[in-house]
Amino acid sequence: MNKYLKDKRLLIVSNRVPYSVSKIDGKIIYKKTVGGLVTALDPLLQRIGGLWIGWSGVSGTNRETGDRVVIEEGNGLKKYELKFVRLNENEIKDYYGGFSNRTIWPLFHGFLFQSFFDHNYWKAYHRINKKFANEIISVIAKNDIVWVHDYHLMLVPEILRHNNTNLKIIFFLHIPFPNYEILSALPWNKEIIKGLLGCDIIGFQTKKDAVNFLAACKEILKLKPDFNQFKVSYENRAIYAREFPISIDFENFRKLGEKKEKSKFIKNIKAFSRDTRFILSVERLDYTKGLKERFRAIERFFDKYPDYRNKVVFIQIAVPTRTKIQEYERFKKEIDEMVGRINGKFAEGLWAPINYIYKSFSQEKLVSYYKLSDICLVTPLKDGMNLIAKEYIAVRSETDSVLILSKFAGVAQELKEYAIMVNPYDIEGVADSIKDALEMDIREKRDKLIKMREIVKERDVFYWLDTIIHSFIELVCKNK
């Protein structure tokens, strides 16, 4: 990969740049954000250099930061640049809070009746996608490769293609792609598909997502995709739709886990709680993550298996997200009330069944919770991949670790043979799975964990990157 990219520049384009911008004591501070996209792509640009284009997270024009900034981590890593796309409050409200997260996000996760089809949202989405494309066009050079990311920017590839037919464009969708019946409900479905068809290659988390996209090309645009070679012809070009399951930097998480072996945080909790078993879930506070269903399963578990009261604590880390969107405000209130009711029902003395933490954590702090927890409960109703499951596995060198995993998470395609698989809607089944995990034989736990660690280590983020770039070279570059 590095040899091919030696004389080329990689332009990463996403809704947000991977650093938050703040001002402390008159000094501009850039702090790396936490998330799957950053975990995957920041190491790549540190290896090869390049340019990352996106919104800074600050509304309006910030003259102090300028339009571009150089990120230099040191330790022999290469510099790369950030280029900011400026968005005002109204643009953020309608493009990001509106079309991206009240229309596309619920629809692509199968929550049709949570979706809002507002023409003003659509106009803002189209306008901001054009703004992003214009920023790319203003800096593009002959040998550049443009890699556009995620559902916020699905129109950008077509806009770029119409400006320059010779561009090399990759797109990666981090969330699921719906079947064409669901997509048909979107009034602008043709425009979305055509936007993606501006690419040379489109990456999806799973094969099912790629098939859904090709089926949408067939049913909605009346094209004739090749389902054997996973490609479709459009405007005299071949566009490839392939699965590339995203992953993590396994070695980084493994080392972080080793550093936390003798953590005071873990020692203090274990000294206080003695023989308590800990079950952990981590996610953004989003209705697609199955929090309500999970809490119902926790409640059912303690109802059905009362011997585990005072012996098991469920830790839910819920990261604040989209706090200004009405659906998320309402959802948080429902979750707060649910946790209060369940804790009130079962609490005895200093023990309560749920330790609910509503805040963001650093990567190192999350690793401490991974090391503390005997079981990781990952039960989204629908998820593109879910890197929490992979992070937990990478960190846990202990032999007493179990992963309980929703069959609707993209990561299930890689780990389903060794995790305890559940249907998150099956409250009784999830409750029983928790008991099974707690009582699993130590040798079975060890064998399953070893297998999962081997998979995550072999298919780490660099494998993901190399696979995409290799496919891009073989399928696109050698045929041009």
pLDDT in tens, 142-180: 889 999 999 999 999 999 999 999 999 999 999 999 999
Query: What mean pLDDT comes out for the span 254-269?
Result: 87
Rounded distance, CA 274 to CA 351, Å?
Answer: 12
Report pLDDT for 292.
98
* Structure confidence at residue 276 (pLDDT): 95
Q: Which pLDDT band, with edges at 50, 70 and 90, does 271 fall under?
A: confident
Residues 249, 461 contacting (CB under 8 angstroms): yes
The mean pLDDT value for 190-197 works out to 98
Within 10 A of 14 (CB to CB), how many other CB atoms are there? 22
**Residue 7: its pLDDT value, please?**
76
Strands (E) across 244-374 are located at 277-284, 312-319, 354-358
Least confident of 257-271, 305-319, 432-446: 257-271
Residue 411: count of CB within 10 angstroms of its CB: 29
pLDDT in tens, 235-252: 999 999 999 999 998 998
Integer Rg of the chain from CA: 23
- Fold (CATH) for 250-459: Rossmann fold (3.40.50)
- Mean pLDDT, residues 89-103 taken together: 96
Residue 332 predicted with pLDDT over 90: yes
Whether residue 191 has pLDDT greater than 90: yes
The predicted pLDDT at position 358 comes to: 97
pLDDT higher than threshold 60 for residue 74? no
Mean pLDDT of the chain: 92
pLDDT at 477 > cutoff 90: no
238 CB-contact burial (10 Å; exposed 0-12 / middle 13-18 / buried 19+): middle
Q: Which of 63, 385, 381, 57 lies closest to 203 in space, CA to CA?
A: 385
What pLDDT is attached to residue 29? 73
The beta strand positions in 25-136, using DSSP E, are 27-32, 51-55, 68-71, 80-85
- pLDDT band at 98, cuts 50/70/90? very high
> pLDDT band for position 395 (50/70/90)?
very high
Most confidently modeled range among 2-6, 34-38, 353-357: 353-357
Distances (CA, A) of 351 to 216, 265, 281: 51, 19, 19
User: What is the structure's pLDDT at 299?
Assistant: 98
Percentage of the chain lying above the pLDDT 70 cut: 94
CATH of 2-246+462-479 given 2.60.40.10, 2.30.30.40, 1.10.3720.10, 3.40.50.2000? 3.40.50.2000
The pLDDT, as a whole number, for residue 447 is 96
CA-CA distance, 410 to 176, in Å (whole number)?
Answer: 8
Please tell me the distance from the alpha carbon of residue 196 to that of residue 155, in angstroms, as a whole number: 6
Confidence of residue 101 (pLDDT cuts 50, 70, 90): very high
Q: Give the Cα separation of 67 and 32 in Å (integer).
A: 18
Q: How confident is the model at residue 264 (pLDDT cuts 50, 70, 90)?
A: confident
Average pLDDT over residues 77-93: 87
Predicted pLDDT of residue 424 = 98
pLDDT band at 34 (very low <50, low <70, confident <90, very high): low
Domain 2-246+462-479 identical in fold to domain 250-459:
yes
Distance CA 392, CA 366 (A): 9
Q: What percent of the chain has pLDDT over 90?
A: 76
Q: Which pLDDT belongs to residue 399?
A: 80
pLDDT for 347? 98
Assess whether pLDDT exceeds 80 at residue 31.
no
**pLDDT(116) > 70:** yes
With the CA atoms of 362, 368, 371 and 373 taken in that order, what torsion angle do they form, in degrees rounded to the nearest 10? -90
Q: Where are the domains of the chain?
A: 2-246+462-479, 250-459
Phi, psi torsion values for 147, nearest 5 degrees: -120, 105
Q: What integer pLDDT is reported at residue 76 of this predicted model?
A: 53
In sequence order, the 6+-apart residues with CB closer than 8 A to the CB of 88 are: 59, 60
Question: Which phi and psi (to 5°) does residue 312 adopt?
Answer: -130, 135
Edge-to-edge order in the sheet of strand 375-378: 354-358, 312-319, 277-284, 375-378, 402-406, 420-422
- Cα–Cα distance measured from residue 362 to residue 31, given in angstroms and rounded to the nearest whole number: 11
Q: Which residues contact 404 (CB under 8 A, 6 or more apart)?
A: 375, 376, 377, 378, 379, 419, 420, 422, 430, 433, 434, 437
pLDDT computed for residue 153 by the predictor: 98
pLDDT value at residue 70: 79
Name the token pair of 144.
Answer: 């550049």
Average pLDDT (85-106) is: 96
What single string gives the DSSP state of each residue in 196-235? Answer: HTTSSEEEESSHHHHHHHHHHHHHHH----BTTTTEEEET
pLDDT of residue 3: 64
Region 205-212: what's the mean pLDDT? 98
Distances (CA, A) of 479 to 116, 141, 200, 298, 471: 41, 21, 11, 54, 12
pLDDT at 65: 59
Over residues 85-100, mean pLDDT:
95
pLDDT at 79: 74
Half-sphere exposure of 76 (CA within 13 A, CB side): 0
The DSSP output letter for 254 is H
Confidence bin at 78 (pLDDT 50/70/90): low
Please say if the pLDDT value at position 23 is more than 80.
Answer: no
Query: Given this model, what pLDDT does residue 384 score?
Result: 96
